[in-house]
Amino acid sequence: MIMKRINSTKAIIFCLVIVPLWAFANDSINEIELFDDDYEVVNYTEIKMRYNENILQIGLVLKITNSEKLNELKNSTNPIIYINFNNQKYMAKGNFIFKSSLEFGCDFCFPIDENGRITFFKDETIYFIRCHNKK
């Protein structure tokens, strides 16, 4: 009875501690930083409320002009993109294209497919949507 309890305790520890640590160590986080010379701004849109001028939504469309960054973005899965724009640094995370809610903990979201790959428009253009739920 005691041996069974020890083995089950070891199994629980293995499942709760070792497996998540192994998964975390093997989970590569793709962080890509875009600087002003890596992109062209195709469109920047602010949608404001009429009565108080609060910004409701911001859309940012970037055409990636740096071929190395473009290849890196096309070959990455679930990347986190840091955008240096208007003298500020913004964090953008992928959001599954058919998901109705936006990601938490980021400034912008961009569409990804079911495999975590970025959905590009016109081969080198990415559409970013401003998230108002940064925590």
Examine residue 123 and state whether it is found in any structural domain, yes or no: yes
**Do residues 76 and 30 lie in contact, with contact meaning Cβ atoms separated by under 8 Å?**
yes
| pLDDT tens sequence across 86-99 | 899 999 999 887 76
Count CB-CB contacts under 10 A for residue 125. 15
Examine residue 19 and state whether it is found in any structural domain, yes or no: no
Strand partners, 41: 62
Confirm whether pTM is higher than 0.75. Answer: no
Examine residue 23 and state whether it is found in any structural domain, yes or no: no
Q: Whole domain around residue 86: which residue ranges?
A: 31-130
Domain total of the chain: 1
H helices of the chain, where? 2-13, 19-26, 67-75
Examine residue 124 and state whether it is found in any structural domain, yes or no: yes
Residue 119, token pair as written in the block: 């959905």
Strand partners, 127: 61
Examine residue 70 and state whether it is found in any structural domain, yes or no: yes
| pLDDT tens sequence across 13-23 | 444 444 344 43
